[in-house]
């Protein structure tokens, strides 16, 4: 059964998370091609938009094939966010999303992201101001609260609903917890039961089985996947298959996974400057090949190659040697967010 959220019909149960430094247009296109019901921009600074930063504005670029597409804004000043929302609306995305959940220190220090949840009155003024400033539907992403063990998500959700927010995403960790420990899905259920707007669950979904369990246990309307899609965009089709048929799906064979990586790379070269495409694909190559024999050597080499053709040739050679008949389970590919937009490949953390 399709879900209506905003004025859109979302045909899938899983959407892609807005990940700073990762969820660019090539990655979003891969996710949509693999069955993501909706995608969002990387985090866009309201202050940067109002200051007319070219780099910030480029974060909002998207292609028609990415729709349904939302632009996610973060900031701390209600007036600045309202002005930024008008700028973003001019690009005609399908919705705007307010980030009240990012725990990165450089964001929280400015009173933005999950830092807003220390002042629910200001959160309400931000939401109300943005909703009034634009015609587009506005959603919001929150955490359980700022302080560990003291959730305020239900109160926050009710405030946001009263301000005209049309849908809510809840990550089941506090701001203090950042990416440590397990997400508390019981808070997602409590929020789902406290508001009438759609609720999207987020946190600790690294497999289709996790997605189905969250849908079942919390009653949330959709799930949002971040780390589980890194190097594995087919997780979205796996969720669809499991929800619709009850049948689990294996990860594709190694060769097919490298073919997907090559398609991602071709898209990046088409949409980004060559040097940036090569640089941005390094982390994705590491994720696509994680768990494969020889992946560590490939990863080291990929981080030194600068010529686009050399990268393609190296990936094709790696693919042609990856001839094992069946896939093996992948370890969880969880990058650690150390600052907004910077991730470590070797740590295990959740978005």
Residues designated as active site: 102
In angstroms, how far apart are the furthest CA atoms of the chain?
58
The CA-based dihedral angle spanning residues 143, 145, 151, 156, taken in that order and rounded to the nearest 10 degrees = -80
- Nearest CA-CA partner of 271 in 19, 62, 68: 62
Which of helix, strand or coil describes residue 171? strand
Taking the C-alpha atoms of residue 274 and residue 265, their distance in angstroms, rounded to an integer, is: 10
Taking the C-alpha atoms of residue 184 and residue 72, their distance in angstroms, rounded to an integer, is: 24
- Nearest CA-CA partner of 74 in 120, 25, 115, 36: 115
Taking the C-alpha atoms of residue 227 and residue 264, their distance in angstroms, rounded to an integer, is: 17
Which residues does 146 contact at the CB level (< 8 Å), separation at least 6? 114, 115, 117, 118, 152, 174, 175, 176
Taking the C-alpha atoms of residue 39 and residue 306, their distance in angstroms, rounded to an integer, is: 29
- What is the CB neighbour count within 10 angstroms for residue 124? 19
């Amino acid at each position: 059964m399709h879900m209506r959220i905003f004025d859109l019909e979302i045909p899938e149960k899983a959407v892609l998370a807005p990940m700073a430094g990762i969820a660019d247009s090539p990655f979003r296109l891969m996710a949509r091609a693999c069955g993501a019901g909706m995608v969002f921009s990387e985090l866009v600074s309201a202050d940067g938009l109002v200051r007319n930063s070219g780099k910030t504005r480029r974060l909002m670029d998207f292609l028609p094939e990415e729709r349904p597409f939302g632009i996610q804004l973060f900031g701390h000043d209600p007036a600045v966010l309202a002005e930024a929302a008008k700028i973003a609306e001019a690009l005609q995305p399908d919705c705007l999303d307010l980030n009240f959940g990012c725990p990165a220190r450089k964001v929280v220090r400015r009173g933005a992201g999950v830092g807003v949840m220390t002042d629910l009155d200001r959160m309400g003024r931000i939401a109300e101001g943005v909703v009034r400033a634009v015609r587009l539907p506005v959603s919001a992403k929150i955490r359980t609260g700022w302080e560990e063990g003291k959730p305020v998500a239900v109160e926050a959700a009710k405030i946001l609903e009263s301000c005209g927010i049309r849908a809510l995403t809840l990550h089941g960790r506090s701001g203090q917890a950042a990416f440590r420990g397990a997400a508390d899905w019981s808070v997602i259920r409590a929020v789902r039961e406290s508001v009438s707007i759609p609720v999207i669950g987020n946190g600790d979904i690294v497999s289709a089985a996790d997605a189905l369990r969250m849908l079942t246990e919390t009653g949330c309307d959709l799930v949002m996947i971040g780390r589980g899609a890194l190097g594995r965009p087919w997780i979205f089709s796996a969720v669809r298959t499991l929800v619709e048929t009850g049948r689990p799906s294996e990860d594709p064979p190694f060769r097919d996974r490298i073919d997907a990586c090559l398609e991602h790379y071709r898209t990046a070269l088409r949409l980004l400057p060559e040097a940036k495409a090569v640089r941005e694909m390094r982390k994705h190559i590491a994720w696509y090949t994680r768990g494969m024999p020889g992946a560590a050597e490939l990863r080291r080499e990929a981080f030194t190659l600068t010529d686009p053709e050399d990268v393609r040739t190296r990936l094709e050679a790696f693919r042609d040697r990856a001839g094992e008949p069946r896939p093996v389970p992948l370890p969880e590919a969880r990058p650690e967010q150390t600052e907004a937009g910077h991730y470590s490949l070797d740590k295990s953390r959740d978005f």
